[in-house]
Amino acid sequence: MFFSMFGAVESGIIFAIMALGVYLSFRVLDFPDLTVDGSFVTGAAVAAMCIVNGVSPIIATVLAAVAGFVAGNITGILNTKGKINPLLSGILMMTALYSINLRIMGGSPNIPLLNEPTVFNFLETAWEKTGIDQFLNGLLTSIGVEVVPGTWIVIFVMIIITVIVKLITDYYLKTEIGLALRATGDNEKMIRSLSANTDTLKIVGLGFSNGLVALSGALIAQNDGFVDLKSGIGMIVIGLASVIIGEALFGKKTIVRTTLAVILGAIVYRMVVTAALKVDFLETGDMKLISAILVVAALVTPKVIATVREQKRRQRKRIDLNNKAKGA
């Protein structure tokens, strides 16, 4: 159990970057952007092709994010200049990206990365010298955990990258441009009357969002050791699940808090899915179904709880009133 949960946290943190991207489009811009299913794979494919062709993994990862940025820009242009509705713009871009991704991958739907350098094994020699693995695994063994993780480097690297991405996002959303971006999702007419070019804001905002999604895709590919053309299917639902679960569990009072909630939401989501797959009756193929059910649950439960609470409150008031009437 520990071992599989360790894996869940590991990939949860990587998916958290994708979830932050979805947060930017879905919540900040109020733009349900389905480009994500395509741009995730675009990131993975660009990174993989670069690495296979001898580019340094760090540069490959950066290029992947840039590719995602451009994909988001195009969705934004379709929506603002082409006046195509947001959902349809995303679906069109996602569909187009499927073919483009296959082109990037040189026509093969799967690219292995097994013996290639990655951002994770790049630092491995330095990492081994620190002895953190032995130390942490020693701790685990001493508390009775039998199967210990091979290495902690992925978690450490990912925490650093995710924290940096979170801090940049927090800062960005508080700048003058960031405020205008948030207002574009909140009250577009108003921010236009305050001389902001909402078209440009949307195009750049969607670029930033999909840049993060592609970055996440590039890192997942390097962690998994392969890219699959179909790995992006349902990615938007996973992103939404993370955002909604995170907000429900950890609150959304301020931007700083919400971005943290989204990251934690992505990790919780992975852990729930991992736990669900332990149930004998469920199979790996059921994952998308579980995701969809989780999103529905996270959306509906808070409302049901609020309604029930409100009903109880009213009932209590009525009973109080009755008692008072009897007493008088």
The site for another protein (CB under 8 A) is made up of 171-172, 174-180, 182-183, 186-187, 189-198
Return the number of the residue (83 or 189) whose C-beta is nearest another protein: 189
Q: How far is the CB of 172 from another protein (least distance, A)?
A: 7
Q: For residue 284, what are its two tokens?
A: 């790996």
Closest CA to 184 of 214, 212, 211, 208: 208
Give the helix ranges, DSSP H, for 187-251.
Answer: 188-193, 198-224, 235-250
Q: How far is the CB of 90 from another protein (least distance, A)?
A: 22
Q: How far is the CB of 191 from another protein (least distance, A)?
A: 6
Q: How far is the CB of 171 from another protein (least distance, A)?
A: 8
Return the number of the residue (30 or 128) whose C-beta is nearest another protein: 30
Q: For residue 155, what are its two tokens?
A: 């978690």
Q: How far is the CB of 231 from another protein (least distance, A)?
A: 33
Return the number of the residue (254 or 323) whose C-beta is nearest another protein: 254
3-state SS assignment for residue 103: helix
Return the number of the residue (3 or 171) whose C-beta is nearest another protein: 171
Return the number of the residue (148 or 255) whose C-beta is nearest another protein: 255
d(CA 175, CA 99): 37
Return the number of the residue (205 or 217) whose C-beta is nearest another protein: 205
Residues 6+ apart with CB under 8 A from 27: 185, 243, 258
Q: How far is the CB of 237 from another protein (least distance, A)?
A: 24
Q: How far is CA 135 from the centre of its chain?
A: 31
One-character DSSP codes across 11-41: HHHHHHHHHHHHIIIIIIS----TTHHHHHH
Burial class, 68, CB count within 10 angstroms (exposed 0-12 / middle 13-18 / buried 19+):
buried
DSSP conformation class of 280: T
Type of residue numbered 165: V
Return the number of the residue (194 or 304) whose C-beta is nearest another protein: 194
- Tell me the angle at which helices 235-250 and 255-278 cross, rounded to the nearest 10 degrees: 120
Q: How far is the CB of 178 from another protein (least distance, A)?
A: 7
DSSP conformation class of 195: T
